[in-house]
Structure formats: C-alpha cells, structure tokens
Amino acid sequence: MTGLLVAGTTSDAGKSVVTAGICRWLHRRGVRVAPFKAQNMSNNSAIAVSADGRGGEIGRAQALQAAACGLAPDVRFNPVLLKPGSDQSSQVIVLGEAVGHIDARNFHDLKPRLAATVLETLADLRREADVVICEGAGSPAEINLREGDFVNMGLARAANLPTIVVGDIDRGGVFAALYGTLALLDTDDQRHITGFLINKFRGDASLLDPALTKLHALTRRPVLGVLPWQVDLWLDAEDALAYGQVLGRPEPPVGAQWLRVAVVRLPRISNATDAEALATEPGVRVRLTVEAAEIDDADLVILPGSKSTVEDLRWLRETGLAEAVQRHASRGKPLLGICGGFQMLAERIHDQVESRAGTVAGLGLLPVEITFRAEKTVGNSGGTAFGSLPVRGYEIHHGYVSAARATRQPFLYYPDGTVEGAVVGHVFGTHLHGTFESDDFRRAFLTRAAGLAGRHGFTVSPSNKFGAARERTLDLLGDMIEEHVDTAALWQTIVDGVPGDQPPEGPAALPARTPWLTR
C-alpha cells in the first residue's frame, strides 16, 4: 500500500485539517496510519519523541494529526521545521533538534541534505505504517520554488505519491485556483494529481454541480468532495491567529459574569495555542489583540511565547503596548507571561544568543533576570501548583532564570522540590507551555485570576475537560471526511497509487478543447 499527499492551492486552504480528518477516518477503520509533513514553517511547535528517547520539536499541526491517528507525537512526522525569528532568517529543526539558522541565501545550499533526510524518514515510516498521509506546504504551483522542492511535487515524484489538491472556496476563485494549480505543473508532476477537494463551502453544495462537472471535463480529474464551513474547527489552527480574533465560540458563563482575556498578538508569537484551553471554558472570552484599549478593558492579560523575545519586547515599547501592560498590572489585575512573555516581565535580559543585543531592560514586573544560552531546553515537564494540583506542560526555550530575588514565589514545584517560574502577587511567569490543558490547574488559575480582577461573579465549569474538546475536534474532522468525501474513491486512490495514464493539462492542451480561451 502507498501513501497520499494532500496539497493545497494556497496556505491555509485546509491541508492540515484535511490531513488530520483523513488520518482520523483511516484510524477509525482500523488502518495503521501515520502523518507526515516534510517541512513546516511555524513557531507553533509541540514536543515529540526522538529515536534516542529525547524530546524534540515538530509542528503543532503534526502533533494534532498524530492524535488523530491514535499515536504519540514522533519527530519523524515533521522531519524539518523552520521557526522564523525575523523576516530574513529561521531556526532549522531537523528530526526534532535545532541545528542552526538559515536565510534565503544559504537555504538553497542546505536543500539537498534536508531532502535526503526527508526521504529516508518517509521511507522509514512507510515500513511501519499501512498508510502515510503526507501534507504539502503552501502551494505546489509556486513554480519559482520547484527546483530542489522536497515538500510538494518533489516529494510526490520522489516517493511516488498520488496527490489531491485542496482549494478554499471561502476565498473566492477556487475553480481557477484548482485548474491553475494543475495547469502550471509540468507533465510529470501533473501525472501525480488524482483529484481535488473543495473546502469551507457555505450553503447548498448542489449549486456547485455545473462547475464540478466542467472542472472534471477540463482536467479529467474528479472533485472527491465538498467540505462544509465548520465554525468549531479552531483548536490548533496554526494559520488562524488573526488580529482582533476571538478564539473559538465562547459559551455563556456558569456564573453571573464573564472573564475577559486579552492575549497580546506579538509579531513573532509562538505557541499561541496555549490560550486555546482557556477559550474552551464557559464564560471565558479570549481575544488576540494589538490594541491598547483591549488590554485596558481586559480582566486577565497574557504575554505569550515569542521566537524573538528582545525584538518583540522592543515592538511592545514602540507601539505603546508595554505601557498598557504595565498600566494593567499597576491596577492589581492579573498578568501572565508564558516563555518569551515571562522573559519580557523580568528586570533584565542578557541575550548574546537569539538577538545578540547584550543586556536589555525588561518590563521589571517580576524580580528575576533571564540569560540566554546556546543550548535549547526542549522537553515535557510538570509539577504541582496552588498547593498540590498537578500541572503538565512542555518547555522550548533558550532563556533561563539566572538570578531571582527572594520576594518571588514559584509558579510551580518540580517533583524533586526545585522551583519553576515566578509569581509576585497578581503577576505570574512561567517557561511552561500547555499548562492550561491540565483541567484542575486551569480552573484554579482562572478562579484566582477572576478574584484578582474583581470578577467575583465568575464561576468555572466543574466538568469541562480540554482533552475531550480536542477529541471532539478530531472526531468532527473524521466525520466530515466520511460524510462529504467520496471515501471509496479516496481509498482506491490510496490503494492504487499514482495512475499511469493521467492526461496532461496546461496551456499547450487548451486549444484543442477550448479554442476560445486563446482569443
């Protein structure tokens, strides 16, 4: 049996969720299925297990896809991860481990080595799984990037993968995008394209029938399904962190009052998914913002992770948001910094590694100093907080607490009795991501935050489970594939692999069928 490549007409066309949905559908059928994304570019990462048992980084979308397969995250599911630190350079993670930085000039030279690693890793996965569902990146029609490609059609060709193309109808122009994607490919690449999927449709899908028929006639390839717009697909959506966005669909509060949470949308935000667990709570309204007014209006403000702590701290000051954060804290309202956000709250930051800026003044809201070191801390972690409540999370950072005054309390205690993070009254800081996925801790923290904010009418839900919310999302994805996709045809594509007689498409083929297009 072979695998399948899920490509897209654009970024955010829905490749990640379609891949997760297909994985869930196959897993429920009893198929041993694994996800794979050759190269991801994202600052939203998750901890996965490497071959030697150490923790490593992969894209968070691949961790969700692994859960859809009933698997623990594995570094092989995303062998190359690029984490942008600026518009010019990215940190390179290979099989979970940071190996250096690249820019547009030296990435081309690195491609052959990365491609070899990708193909070896995929071959290894295919020996273990019945099916590997691969996700492309961006669009395969980015023909300026075709040379040396190992993520889209370069991967399909090298690994002999049949490929489906996903188009987002909500953006408009989906039929032109689907046809144009195919037409721009060369003949050998086109041979791997076996069908299309239309995503995010609102309304009566039968209205699309004339266009589906026409697209099939032009390309000789079927539209395998039309997936509906689904408002509940927001967990772990790595391309959906828009300014001013309210996360999820807030449910009415259990008590008499709402709790308003403002997450500062930093330019180089990382692991912003930390706030999603809060957004699953009834009565908690979480907004990503770059507006000082929304920070002033919030009950709880969160400074999230950042791939470039010092640069994003400079941005906070230049935009006036640093003043808004400090004004919020001066009113005694709760403020939480996570990872890079925690580092910004320090008195001083010593950084000769990430920004090479030397010593920089922090916001001075926590009595600690942060020093960056070349070695990266990566791994799952946890302990207890608020007395004896268990907290699980994960760490991905270069900075560490190099000095702390006795006036601070720890954010949590590790099992060996050592401490992590800092708390001074209403200001909290931790290097741990994912802590709010621990249900009891999340409830306790929100209760504390509501009290500090004067929201005494806010009550946490005693029964809300974040893990159950994630499972509902995965099952919803599997249901969408089963209900809206020709799964018999999709399964046949996976089983049969790349057909040998797919007709070519493109400008040279157009005049014979549609001469009016050449006028």
The 8-class DSSP code of residue 248 comes to S
Residue 206 inside a domain? The answer is: yes
27 is catalytic: no
Q: Does residue 433 have an active-site annotation? A: yes
Per-residue tokens: 499 = 């057909």
Cα dihedral 201, 203, 208, 212 in deg (nearest 10): 30
pLDDT in tens, 345-382: 999 999 999 889 999 999 999 999 999 999 989 999 99
Q: Which helix (H) or strand (E) holds 406?
A: none
Q: Please tell me whether residues 23 and 144 are part of one structural domain.
A: yes
Number of domains in the chain: 2
Residues 193 and 130 in one domain: yes
> 449 and 504 share a domain?
no
Give the model confidence (pLDDT) of 188-201 as tens digits: 999 999 999 999 99
The amino acid at 57: E
**AA identity, residue 302:** I
Q: Which of 326, 297, 300, 327 has its CA nearest to residue 313?
A: 326
| Distance from C-alpha of 152 to C-alpha of 417, rounded to nearest angstrom | 48
Q: Is the pLDDT of residue 50 over 80?
A: no
Q: Same domain for 271 and 217?
A: no
184: Cβ–Cβ under 8 A, 6 or more apart, which residues?
141, 143, 506
Q: Which residues contact 147 (CB under 8 A, 6 or more apart)?
A: none
Residue 253 lies in a domain: no
Q: Give the torsion sign (CA, 34, 39, 42, 46).
A: positive
Q: What is the CATH number of the domain that holds 176?
A: 3.40.50.300
The residue among 361, 366, 270 whose CA lies nearest residue 44 is: 270
Q: Are residues 150 and 32 in the same domain?
A: yes
Query: What is the phi/psi pair of residue 506, to 5°?
Result: 145, 180
In CATH, what number is assigned to the domain containing residue 395?
A: 3.40.50.880
pLDDT tens figures, 80-116: 999 887 667 788 989 988 888 887 677 777 888 999 9
The answer to whether position 469 is within a domain reads no
Q: Which single residue is written with the structure tokens 């695998």?
A: 3
Q: What is the dihedral of CA 319, 321, 327, 331, to 10 degrees?
A: 160
Q: What angle do CA 96, 16, 101 make, to 5 degrees?
A: 35
Q: Is residue 414 part of a domain?
A: yes
Any residues with CB less than 8 A from the CB of 409 and at least 6 apart, and which? 422, 423, 424
Q: What is the 3-state secondary structure (H, E, C) of 203-242?
A: CCHHHHHHHHHHHHHHHCCCEEEEEECCCCCCCCCCCCCC
Which two three-digit tokens encode residue 298? 């919030």
Residue 441 within a domain: yes
For 24-56, give the secondary structure using H, E and C.
HHHHHCCCCEEEECCEEECCCEEEEECCCCCEE
Question: Do 384 and 490 reside in the same domain of the chain?
Answer: no
479 in any annotated domain: no
Instruction: Output DSSP code: residue 247.
Output: P
Instruction: Indicate whether 404 and 501 sit together in one domain.
Output: no
Q: Note whether 422 and 388 are same-domain residues.
A: yes
**Domain presence at residue 266:** yes
pLDDT digits (tens, 9 = 90+) for 260-311: 999 999 999 988 788 999 999 999 999 999 999 999 999 999 999 998 999 9
Give 442's DSSP letter: H
pLDDT tens for residues 436-466? 999 999 999 999 999 999 999 999 999 999 9
pLDDT band (50, 70, 90) for residue 478: very high
CA 391/CA 347 separation, integer angstroms: 26
Report the C-alpha gap between 225 and 506 in whole angstroms.
23
**CB 117: neighbour CB atoms within 10 A?**
16
Asked if residue 285 and residue 137 are part of one domain, the reply reads: no
| 359 DSSP β-pair partners | 350
Q: Which domain holds residue 164?
A: 4-233+486-518
Question: What whole-number distance in Å separates Cα of residue 168 and Cα of residue 186?
Answer: 23
Interval 223-227 mean pLDDT: 95
* SS3 state at 519: coil
pTM: 0.89
Q: Within 10 Å of residue 406's Cβ, how many Cβ atoms? A: 6
CB 154 within 8 A of CB 140: no
Q: Is residue 290 part of a domain?
A: yes
CA distances in angstroms from 266 to 8, 418, 421, listed in the order given: 27, 31, 21
Q: Compare 151 and 90 and report the one with higher pLDDT.
A: 151
Judge whether residue 512 has pLDDT over 80. Answer: no
Contact 443, 460 (CB under 8 A): yes
DSSP string, 135-178: E--S-TT-GGG-TT--SSHHHHHHHT--EEEEEEGGGS-HHHHH
- Both structure tokens of 177: 């995008």
Q: Is 262 left (phi over 0), alpha (psi -120 to 50) or beta?
A: beta
Phi, psi (degrees; rounded to nearest 5) at 515? -60, -25
Rounded to 5 degrees, φ, ψ at 78 are -150, 80
- 413-436: pLDDT as tens digits: 999 999 999 999 999 999 999 999
432 lies in the same domain as 313: yes
**Annotated catalytic residue, options 339, 397, 398, 431:** 339
For residue 252, pLDDT over 90 is answered with: yes
Give the type of residue at 370.
I
Distances 438 to 174, 263, 382 between C-alpha atoms, Å: 41, 19, 10
Considering the domain architecture, whether residues 226 and 167 belong to the same structural domain is answered as: yes
Residues 328 and 217 in one domain: no
